[in-house]
Amino acid sequence: MASNESDDDFMDDEEYFAEMKAMFKTRGWELLTQELADNIHLLEDIQDIKDEKDLYTKQGKLAAIALIINFPSTLQRAEEEQDEGSQ
């Protein structure tokens, strides 16, 4: 736990998973992921790459977008692994 967190700020894994799932069901999450998915198409156009630095910048942006869009699946796998480990 970080030094600026109190005991009241701590949540166990079950509560964490529940809070994240609730967030994934919101209209805001849907809008965010749709916006990011739309931006992927703009970034995937390799004809606009000017140099190596631009290539790495686009790769980083695509990786960050993929991380966010795939987060619900990643969280689900983590929860399943935790459930298997606790049995």
Domain boundaries, the chain: 32-87
CB 24 within 8 A of CB 72: yes
Residue closest to 59 by CA, chosen among 74, 47, 46: 46
**Model confidence over 40-63: pLDDT tens digits?**
888 888 888 999 999 999 999 999
Note the pTM of the prediction, 2 decimals. Answer: 0.75
CA 71-11-68 angle, 5° bins = 15
Instruction: Note the pLDDT of residue 1.
Output: 41
Is the predicted pLDDT of residue 2 greater than 60, yes or no? no
Instruction: Note the pLDDT of residue 84.
Output: 85
